[in-house]
Structure 1
Amino acid sequence: MLGTNRCISNNRSNHSRCCVMNKETNYWKTAEQMNGRLAMMGFFAAVINYGITGWIIPGIV
């Protein structure tokens, strides 16, 4: 199976660059979903914080 991948190899590791971005691992899709979910959690936390304290950033006017 290792010889069937026709990607340019990376000199720093024994994995190719294309292996990270292929459809089997879904690395970029997972990264984008995680980034979006964390952004939504941060926005939700900011809204809750503003509702409780009345300040966007408590302690900073």
Structure 2
Amino acid sequence: MITQYLAASQPVPAGPVVQWGWLTITVANLLVILLMIAVFVLALLLPFPAPPEEEDR
């Protein structure tokens, strides 16, 4: 029972890591941040859809 608890409490490896000076970040987190920035920039640059034009009666 105790060995199962100890085995489950071991940390999971984070994967590849990128280091720039004091900044250390995993590649997966870096990709998520870059994708969020790209979506934000696209939301600023892409035009809103035009409202539907009303027909004259």
For this structure pair, what is the TM-score category when the shorter chain's length is used for normalisation?
0.3 to 0.5
Q: Quick check: which one's helix share is greater? A: 1
TM-score for both structures, normalised by structure 2: 0.44
TM-score for both structures, normalised by structure 1: 0.42
* Bigger-Rg structure (1/2): 2
